[in-house]
Every structure is written in C-alpha cells, then in structure tokens.
Structure 1
C-alpha cells in the first residue's frame, strides 16, 4: 500500500511539473506588423500577422486594441472590437503554428495578446 501511494504521488508531481512547464498560454501568440507600401485615404496601410507558436490550438484569441482607430476598418470576420480588446477570427481556433492576418490603414498600432483558450487535454 505504501509503495502504491508513493508511486501515485510521484506520478502526480511529475504530471503537475510537466503541465506547468509546457502549458500553452496567450503568451505563445506572436504579433508582427509591416507596412504594405500602399496608402488609403492618405494613411499608410499595415499588414498584421498573428502567429500561434504553441503546439496546441488556441481559440478566443483576444488582442489589446483600446484606442485603435483605423482609417480603413478591419473586416469583422478577422478582428472584432469588444471594448478595449479585439477578438480574432470570431473566436475560431488558431491551429498550432498557424497564422491569421489582417490589414488596416491608419497610424501604427502595437497589438498585444491579452487572452486565449487552449484545449485542456492538449499536451504540448
């Protein structure tokens, strides 16, 4: 009985350690932006790329976007403003290693990931 209890505790601890080290979070979302070279209404156009660098899909990816006021609005399918945050791709899953892109015209804006949901059964 004592041996079985020790084995259970060891397995439980290893499981907690491995989950703690490999858990995907919104911090695994990388964002980059580049000018496209086009101008719309006298404003530069920007192409934003959002990359899921986690080994698991992430859904309901939200970005900071308070004060974001593009001259050319982003398609709501790609970026939906919700107060000070914006929901990516209508909350659909962004697979591991996948990218989502959108363009806007206006002043440069620094988007930051602020939230996502990861399938809890996913093991990185």
Structure 2
C-alpha cells in the first residue's frame, strides 16, 4: 500500500523525501564510509563515526527507511552497504557542487574587499 501511495505522489515530493534521508551529517558520513567500504559491520561504523550503538542505529534506520542502505545479518553481526551505487555518485556530485559554491563565494568576497 505504501509503494502505491509513493507512486502517486509527484516526483518532486519523492525527491524531497529522499533528501530528508540525507539531512543529517552523521547519515552523510555513514554513506561516505559505505561508499568506500561496502559491507562494513555496525561495529566498524561505530568506530569510524565515533557514535554510540543506539544513536548510530537510529540513523541507520532512517537510511534504510529511505532506501539508501541495505542490511545483511551474518551470524551475530549486521553489515551495511549502499542500496544503490548511485548513492556514491550523488555524494561525489554534491562534493563537487559544494566546492564550486565555496569557490564562487570566495571570489565574490575577494572582489568586494578589493573594490
């Protein structure tokens, strides 16, 4: 039923919902780690992010709910991977966009100082 509802929503709303999944620095960091180390355990993610298990678990749940990561249980551990390789591409594009925005802002500031 939920997927039927999503399918009937305008694409811009669905996109906005995807970005809600990205709207926290910890979740972005987790996605960056997973883009470099696919299939990493929760224990390793905790060490990399410096987060406690309960807080990390909440962020991973949000990422799962927004279909950005997938979990796989192996014995007593859970391992996470990006749900789609395009998530890594999205991170690369956002980094390039932010670098360009920063460069443009610095140029504008420099030009106002020298004027």
Query: Shorter-chain TM-score: what band?
Result: under 0.3
Query: TM-score scaled by structure 1?
Result: 0.23
The structure whose residues are more often strand, as a share, is 1
The structure whose residues are more often helix, as a share, is 2
The one of the two structures with greater contact order (alpha-carbon pairs below 8 A, sep at least 6) is 1
Query: Over alpha carbons, which structure has the higher Rg?
Result: 1
